[in-house]
Structure 1
Amino acid sequence: MSIGNSPSDDRPSVGRALAKARIEAGLSVDEVSTRTRVRVPILQGIEQDDFSRCGGDVYARGHIRSIARAVGLDPEPLIAQYAAEQGSPETPAPVPPLYEAERRIRAEPRRPNWTAAMIAAIVAVIGFVGYTVVSGSGGDDKTSAGATPSATTTTPTPSQSPQGNGEPKPPQPSNSAIAAAPPGKVTVKVTAAGGTSWIQAMDGNGKQLFQASLHKGDSKTWTDDKKIKLIVGNAGAVQLFVNGKDLGPAGDKGQVVRLTYTPGDPTQG
């Protein structure tokens, strides 16, 4: 995206209007960045009518709306002016401000993934029953010649079915062990299953591990001793796998979310 078109003589551009309102409100760029969670380089570019760092029209509109509210302006006329200057129509579902997305995440805790837990429990029970039956049948093979065989037959369970060498077939591993993390570490895998999403990932020391857009079908995995922090744009398009747990979509379509994960079960906290 290039720098915006030249404004008319009687009306300042979007960036100049935001910069003027900020100065009149007595706020610095850093203070507005803290209030809106818009990074300083992006905010400085917007005040100069350079929206190339926003990552697209949807994000640019969201940033304009957040900054306008922070400096005391009505965001809607600025959004309309941005659309006119950039030659892009207003989208029906703009990205909500980042602080609203965070508040919604805190208010709606993610439910535990009971399906994965039940599958793991069923596999464990089947394996235990199969081992008990096989290990207990060793003394029953020596049946006396005159003994009458029982009329009742038992169909072996999948874990008791013999392999080619006569040994019982071991239970199959559970599909819930996705992106499993080593003990004491946190492992996060993101997959752009439903479309394109912008991702930023940082480790427990604040070091940036990744910042770019993932296109549909792309995946990224990160591991750290302490924590993994994520900022996810278009959260409904992203599937999350944390410490061996499938957490489903990161949020709703068009939503921007901030997430933090640590070692342990992500569904228990």
Structure 2
Amino acid sequence: MTELGNRLKEAREEKGMSLDDLQAATKIQKRYLTALEEGNYDVIPGKFYVRAFIKQYAEAVGLNSEELFEEFKKDIPDSYNDEVSDKLSSIKPQRELPAPASKALELLPTLLVSAGVIVVIAIIYVIVQAVMGGGNENSAEQTKTEETESKYDVSKDSPLKNENQKNADNEKSGAEDKKDDDAQKTADKKELSIKAVNSQGSSTTYEVSGADKLELEVTTTADSWVRVRDAKGTSLKEGMMKKGDSFQKNITDQDQIELRVGYAPGVEIKINGKVLSYELDPKNVMTQNITIENKKEKKSS
């Protein structure tokens, strides 16, 4: 076992994680994790993957991968040659396009396009005729209505006309009152704010404000180890969560909540249904420590 392997294994054991837990958190096969601890890099397919697996292993157990690469650079293989080889092998020679089977096949796309244009023109013609016919009917109906109103015209001072005007004014006033009420409700509604205020290493602190009640929801889209603690250090949730599992907790009365996720790309965190956007890219920092601070508004006396 190499010194690097000893360092990785000690860090894993200090975290209380088994190889199975680490496999679930990093998505790296257990036999490759064992090979890293034993320094048996020949088992791993390519030097590039050796460095990538060491980086994911280190971040999952809370070590700085860049410092490890610098300290043990003599023991870790250089991946440059493998990367060049992979890029060269990914270049495929261009193939000649097969010649059309016949002139008829060459003309087929043109014929299909022409037929489509004809169909579209026919549809537009039918729609225009229908609209014009409907317009003529509406015009005739409007003329008939105007003649009827002219025949039975209501005088300006008649009680019937005054009543109609009164009803119209009441409807307009009611609509304006409803509009004012809706505007007031919108103004009174508080908007939840989730803001990252500090980020260092694999840890980020988020401030949450703008809501009287807070509901925390943690959902896994892939297997991951998750731990949730309150400000007193009491564990609210700890252990492996399978794909599709969900954990909910009302944290309104909590000043602070701490989360640690083993595989950030597979863990979605919501507060009052609003998704918390990771400040640190989960693809680069898979294991993250997240602190949520509840900035409660002070009530005026």
TM-score (norm 1): 0.40
Q: Which has the higher helix share?
A: 2
**Structure ID, larger Rg:** 2
